[in-house]
Amino acid sequence: MNKANRITISRIIMSIIIICLMLFPFDQLGLEFPSYLLKGRILIDLKYIIVGILFIIASLTDFLDGYVARKYNMVTDFGKMIDAISDKLLTNSVLIILAATGKISTFIPVVIITRDIVVDSIKMVVGNKGEAVAAIGIAKVKTATLMTGIILTLFYNLPFELIPLRISDFLLVLATILSVISGVKYYIMAKPYLQDR
């Protein structure tokens, strides 16, 4: 368990805490997070602000563990596997919960999760043939766009909501489009290895 993997494990722990905060029925136990009315029209629940802060910290570890692994030569197969799991746990679970609570369209998590399943399956098949599909730039842009969109959604699209300008929705839709495009690119790259010979 090297330093990079410990950072990744910390992201998994934070992801579980985030999921629990978002799903736990605090109101049924008589516990409520304070709410604030901003500009007389934006109702802010402190729970989502806390979740947003935790999500930012967890997102930063996503970039940090990869940097540490590469710089100090700590790249391992276990690290690659646990990193992929932690990424999906963090983003996809939050997307599902946001969709279930009506804060975003269900279309977004359905498309993004479906793309992830397809791409991961492609990588698995290619890997079984002793090859690897390299990460592509558009996938990294998709990830950054998606995480920024989620953060803005958790922070009630502030400060853009004061204009109002739905930047959070725009970024999530853009991330969904980039997700599909990157999925197609992965398929094209891997197509030679997917054909039986």
The predicted-structure confidence for 23-79, as pLDDT tens digits, reads as follows: 999 988 899 899 999 988 899 999 999 999 999 999 999 889 988 988 888 888 888
| Of residues 84, 76, 56, the one with CA closest to residue 144 | 56
What stretches of 104-166 show up as alpha helix (H) in DSSP?
107-128, 137-154
pLDDT of residue 197: 53
Q: What is this structure's pTM?
A: 0.92
Q: Tell me if 158 sits within 8 A of 168, measured CB to CB.
A: no
pLDDT at 156: 97
Domains of the chain, residue spans: 3-194
Any idea what DSSP says for residue 42? E
Which residue ranges in the chain fall short of pLDDT 50?
none
Residue 66: per-residue pLDDT: 85
Q: What are phi and psi of 15, to 5 degrees?
A: -65, -45
Name the CATH topology of 3-194: Four Helix Bundle (Hemerythrin (Met), subunit A) (1.20.120)
